Amino acid sequence: MQIQADTQRCVGAGMCALTAPALFDQCDHDGTVVLLGAGVCGPEAADAARAAVAHCPSGALSLTD
Ligand code: SF4
């Protein structure tokens, strides 16, 4: 599973970093999403990634298998 983050759509709400801190961080500058690695390994990380996508208010995150 791979995560894609569209930083043009990201509004810096930080839900992804709160929901899945092992997968997402935020830019110190403007708060936009920073991927800590695009690949997701293991069922726990996959669940966290799905939750982060679901909670993102801007639709900036997506997953592909
Ligand atoms: S939750 Fe969405 S809008 Fe908020 S920082 Fe993460 S990607 Fe950006």
Percent of the chain surpassing pLDDT 70:
100
Tokens 């990380």 label which residue? 45
Whether the predicted pLDDT of 38 surpasses 90: no
Centre of ligand 1 from the C-alpha of residue 30, in Å: 11
For residue 12, the ligand 1 atom closest to its alpha carbon is 5
Q: Where are the domains of the chain?
A: 2-64
Give SS3 for 19: helix
pLDDT at residue 20 above 90? yes
At the second CATH level, the architecture of 2-64 is 2-Layer Sandwich (3.30)
By most ligand atoms within 8 Å of CB, the mutation choice from 3, 7, 11 for ligand 1 is 11
pLDDT average, residue stretch 32-51: 94
Count CA atoms within 13 Å of residue 35 on its CB side.
16
Lowest mean pLDDT among 9-13, 21-25, 38-42, 54-58: 38-42
Q: Which residues line ligand 1 (CB under 6 A)?
A: 5, 10-16, 26, 33, 56-58, 60-61
pLDDT of 2 reads: 96
Reply yes or no on whether the pLDDT at 36 is more than 90: yes
